[in-house]
Chain A
Amino acid sequence: MEMEAAKYIGAGLAMIGMIGSGIGMGNVFSSFILGVSRNPAARGEVFTMTMLGFALVEAIALFALVIALLILFG
């Protein structure tokens, strides 16, 4: 197999790791919605932690992207 073709296939496979991030993102915001619906007064504090959770889960997706870019262009 040519190097170019192998790179494209490798990059595509590396992006499969983003599935985990998608599931995790759904978890974070579903917990936020459930938490606020049970206790609307806690919205401010829970929102801060939700934003922290969003950024951390997003990071996993971006790790997968970095590996894909490394395979494609490194």
Chain B
Amino acid sequence: MAQPHGEGGHSPLQQFEVKTLIDLPSVGGMDVSFTNSSLMMVIALALITGFMTLAMRERSLVPGRLQMVAESAYEFIANLIRDTVGSEGRPYFPLVFSLFTFVLMGNLLGMLPYSFTFTSHIIVTFALAIAVFIGVTILGFVKHGMHFFTFFAPAGTPPLLLPLLVPIEILSYLSRPVSLSVRLFANMLAGHTLLKVIAGFVALMGAAGVLPLALLVALNGLEILIALLQAYVFAILTCLYINDALHLH
């Protein structure tokens, strides 16, 4: 497995390969086999659901340590929604909590050796981002009707500037799902590729390999921070988009 010649067998991008674990017959021309990506998603789901159900099993008024952890996670997202959206954001708490914990578990599970980071694929992050974007746009139209289009013309702009400003605002609005998805995807891709490249140097340099090894330890710590941070950023941006749809600036 260790390639003393570096570029010999494995490339740093091989970790992102989607391998089929259980072959399932294709549905409507699409391959719906159970892959390592699906397995990681199921594990993430099982961990989150299992933890929250288990921790809240004895619903004591004064929480013990485990219940405290679950309540802290709840409170973290509830405070986030209250600070960004306000009290009208409470119906959207399950969405934001699910997004946050799913992305968080996906990022963190990728830090385990020999596992797969399902958030490092653009299709996964784009699916999440486009779901948020379409949901928030529909929310804006349901709440404000045609008045939603005043979102693209900020209050107090001189009418002469409007033909220039409105297309720019529309373009920046349409770029939201792209930026939301690419931010998460590129962070995960770049981080894990960098880890693999430095790890290749450790094997290559023999005895002097303790130097890249020390760097690797520091980089792993940074990657865990990035995993937590990117999940938080995804959640807070979702809350900000919901705020935009509900309050139109």
Residues of chain A having any CB pair with chain B under 8 Å:
51-52, 54-56, 58-59, 62-63, 65-66
CB-based contact B182/A63 at 8 Å: yes
Residues of chain B having any CB pair with chain A under 8 Å:
179, 182-183, 185-187, 190, 229-230, 232-233, 236
Besides A55-B183, A59-B186, A62-B183, 9 new A-B residue pairs in contact (Cβ under 8 A), listed by A number: A51-B229, A52-B232, A52-B236, A55-B229, A56-B183, A58-B183, A59-B179, A63-B179, A66-B182
Count how many pairs of residues, one from A and one from B, have CB atoms less than 8 Å apart in the complex. Answer: 33
CB-based contact A66/B186 at 8 Å: yes
CB-based contact A65/B233 at 8 Å: no
CA distance A59 to B178 in the complex (A): 11
**Given B186, B230, B233, which contacts A63 in the complex, CB threshold below 8 Å?**
B186
Distance in Å: Cβ of B201 to nearest Cβ of chain A? 20
CB-based contact B186/A65 at 8 Å: yes
- Looking at chain A's contact residues, the main secondary structure is helix
- Looking at chain B's contact residues, the main secondary structure is helix
Set of chain B residues within 8 Å of A51, measured between Cβ atoms: 229, 232
Distance in Å: Cβ of B147 to nearest Cβ of chain A? 29
Task: Name B193's closest neighbour in chain A (CB-CB).
Answer: A69
CA distance A62 to B179 in the complex (A): 10
Task: Name B13's closest neighbour in chain A (CB-CB).
Answer: A73
The 8 closest A-B pairs by CB, nearest first: A62-B186, A59-B183, A55-B233, A66-B186, A55-B229, A65-B190, A62-B187, A51-B229
Distance in Å: Cβ of A65 to nearest Cβ of chain B? 6
Distance in Å: Cβ of A37 to nearest Cβ of chain B? 24
Set of chain A residues within 8 Å of B232, measured between Cβ atoms: 51-52, 55
CA distance A59 to B236 in the complex (A): 15
Task: Name A66's closest neighbour in chain B (CB-CB).
Answer: B186
**Given A56, A62, A66, which contacts B233 in the complex, CB threshold below 8 Å?**
A56
